[in-house]
Amino acid sequence: MRLHEYQAKQVFADAGIPTPASQLAETVDEAVDAAEEIGYPVAIKAQVHVGGRGKAGGIKLVESKEEAREAAEDIIGMDLKGYHVSKVLVEEAVDFVNELYVGVTMDRGEGRPVAMVSTKGGVNIEEVAEEDPDAIAREHIDPAFGMHPFQARKVVYEAGVDREVANDVASVLTTLYQLWDDRDGADTEINPLMITSDDEVIAADAVMNIDGDALFRQPEIAEMGEEAAEGDELEQKADEYGFDYVRLDGNVGIIGNGAGLVMTTLDLVDYYGGEPANFLDVGGGAKADRIANALDMVFSDDNVDSVVFNIFGGITRGDEVANGINQALEQFDEIPKPVTVRLAGTNAEEGMEILNEDLVTVEHTLEDAVQRAVEYAKEVEA
């Protein structure tokens, strides 16, 4: 479960991490009033679950009442990468001299949480990891003992953070790990963690994703999650249908059964030059109506240009999946997005025979299915 920036900052601030003065606004007048109260310059930031908000016009820096009104009018109600913007965070602008990245996540390869620090903050950290992996310092943590102070200092110094602020950055990182642990986090990060000319550290952005299976012991966070989903039609549908669903920034829709299978499909989409649009796990034992609901969700995402189904039959039967796909697609006079299907496992052959190849493209291997879906998406882009 993902929190909005304003919600994550509230959690961070309550834990003692410095954040800029800010107010949430749902109307233009509320945004202007907040900017006047905070004092200019301020940033007006769309509150949606998507990266690259600034480049897409969802974050604007303003220095007057007139600019604040114009920015709020532009952002509130806009469609930002398929998300409707109903709220903005009006936030004190930070006069910074440097930007860092700090984060905590689970390293599944090592089976342990990992703390990360980089002096290349303020940019897409995934791109940094790919183009210059040595720019990110990492420290694995034994969850039985938590993060020791020396570990926080070690990873901060290894990242090359200036000595004047190193202890403060280490303190923020320690708190970030404690939040990750106490709140059943999947990811917690600050990008950027800004350094001011007075050597103060301020969390200018905040990301906090929570393990959805642990929400029963995080009632306060669960309430935030209900608020975060308001106004987001796809996330509301995911809750209604009972799907594990995460929206991403690409245009290849992905439906699979089992988190590992879906993750493998995401990786292959990336490998073959595409960009995943979502993570959607229909779970085991998916019947025809559940498959139809999954297609309804992916078709509802304006970012999706093609869809790939990757189903391995165990509890889930291939013939049930095929019937669900046929039933869903037969409702349309014209198929809204090209659909590619790969079935394997229980009753896969029967499913292949049931599939209406006038409505879908059938591939016998996952690699072929992913490549075909990526090709379809690129054809739409062209």
| Residues annotated catalytic, as ranges | 101, 189
d(CA 37, CA 112): 44
Tokens of 285: 């034992």
Tokens of 236: 């509301």
Q: Are 93 and 196 in contact (CB under 8 A)?
A: no
Between the alpha carbon of residue 107 and those of residues 133, 138, 153, 320, the distances in Å are 15, 10, 20, 35
Residue with tokens 């019947």: 287
Edge-first strand listing for the sheet containing 252-256: 244-247, 278-281, 252-256, 306-313, 339-345, 361-362
Peptide bond into 113 cis (omega under 30): no
d(CA 248, CA 229): 15
Peptide bond into 41 cis (omega under 30): yes
Between the alpha carbon of residue 55 and those of residues 16, 33, 201, the distances in Å are 30, 25, 24
DSSP bridge partners of 279: 246
> Which SS3 state, helix, strand or coil, does residue 211 take?
coil
What is the number of other CB atoms lying within 10 angstroms of the CB of residue 106?
16
Tokens of 128: 């940094």
Q: Are 188 and 207 in contact (CB under 8 A)?
A: yes
Q: Are 121 and 79 in contact (CB under 8 A)?
A: no
Residue 376's nearest CA partner among 328, 309, 327 is: 309
d(CA 378, CA 370): 12
b/e for 145-167, b at 16 or more Cβ within 10 A? eebeeebbbbbbeebebeeebbe
